[in-house]
Amino acid sequence: MRQTAVFAAALAGLTAAAGVSRADESRAARRAAAAFEQSLPFTQFTLGAGMLTLPAADVCPVALNRCEQGESSLSFSLHNLYRYGPLGLGAGIVWALDLSADRAPGDPELEREHSRSYFLVEAQFRYYGLRFDTWELWVGGTFGGVVVNDSWSVVADREPYADTAFIGPRAATLGTEGLAAGLGVGAEWTFADNWSFGAQVRYSNWFLPGQPEQLPTGDFASLKGRIDMFDLGLTIAYRIAL
């Protein structure tokens, strides 16, 4: 009997705690919605996905004298903005992966391949200049750093003979660091309390070293100098009360 009473008391306590938690979440959601409507401070957490393109870049994945112009990559982003009225200030990251692997020079039996990825860390400023009911339009700018990661692998890296895990990457990698500065424009549609869908177009200049670095294997970094970047994407955002 005593054990039953203790169990009932514990269950009642958990139920009460869950109810308080739901009430707190509901109050926080209402405060965030009110802050958005009344142009008071709140934070906005945004996830995005899209296509990152380098339309005019000379991409040299195999050799410096064998370049291709332009490429496109699948990109994913994560940003956090502090918003107050029409102004937004925050930071975020963008990661993009080249959609195709290139054949790399070497012994045919090694089946060497080259792949590339991009990583950006940037500060962001936005001005939400127009608002129509559930729609908002913004313009903004970004500034930060970019890392272009080139990787060369052989078939033994991609399909290891054993499951033994070794420390370090299973490929020869070369990272090229630079600065990135750009502009953007976008629109957001609020479809539920504190939730919004959006679309954006961003243009950025990447400033990479003028001379590509080289690995002991003779492979060079595939990008150099000033690069034009376009990023077209879709976003989903959630507003959080301060």
DSSP letter assigned to residue 220: B
User: Do residues 120 and 145 make contact, with C-beta atoms less than 8 angstroms apart?
Assistant: yes
Each residue of 79-101: pLDDT tens digit?
999 999 999 999 999 999 887 65
Question: Which tokens in the block code for residue 123?
Answer: 């500060």
DSSP letter assigned to residue 214: B
Hey, which CATH number is domain 41-241, 3.40.366.10, 1.10.8.10, 2.40.160.20, 1.10.287.610?
Answer: 2.40.160.20
- Categorize the per-residue pLDDT at 19 as very low, low, confident or very high, splitting at 50, 70 and 90: very low
- In our burial notation (b when 16+ CB lie closer than 10 A, e otherwise), range 148-174 reads bbbbbbbeebeeeeeeeeeeeeebbeb
Q: Domain residues of the chain, as ranges?
A: 1-38, 41-241
Question: Which tokens in the block code for residue 185?
Answer: 């424009």
Rounded to two decimals, the pTM is: 0.79
Q: How far is CA 115 from CA 59, 68, 145, in A?
A: 12, 14, 21
> Which pLDDT belongs to residue 16?
40
Cα 185 from Cα 16, distance rounded (Å): 46
* pLDDT tops 80 at residue 180: yes
> Which pLDDT belongs to residue 159?
57
Cα 83 from Cα 107, distance rounded (Å): 55
For residue 199, the one-letter residue type is: A
Each residue of 96-136: pLDDT tens digit?
988 765 665 554 555 677 788 999 999 999 999 999 889 99
The SS3 call for residue 7 is helix
> Which pLDDT belongs to residue 46?
98
Rounded to the nearest 5°, which phi and psi values hold at 163?
Answer: -85, 10
Cα 19 from Cα 87, distance rounded (Å): 35
Percent of residues, the chain, with pLDDT higher than 90: 48
Average pLDDT over all residues of the chain? 81
- Categorize the per-residue pLDDT at 199 as very low, low, confident or very high, splitting at 50, 70 and 90: very high
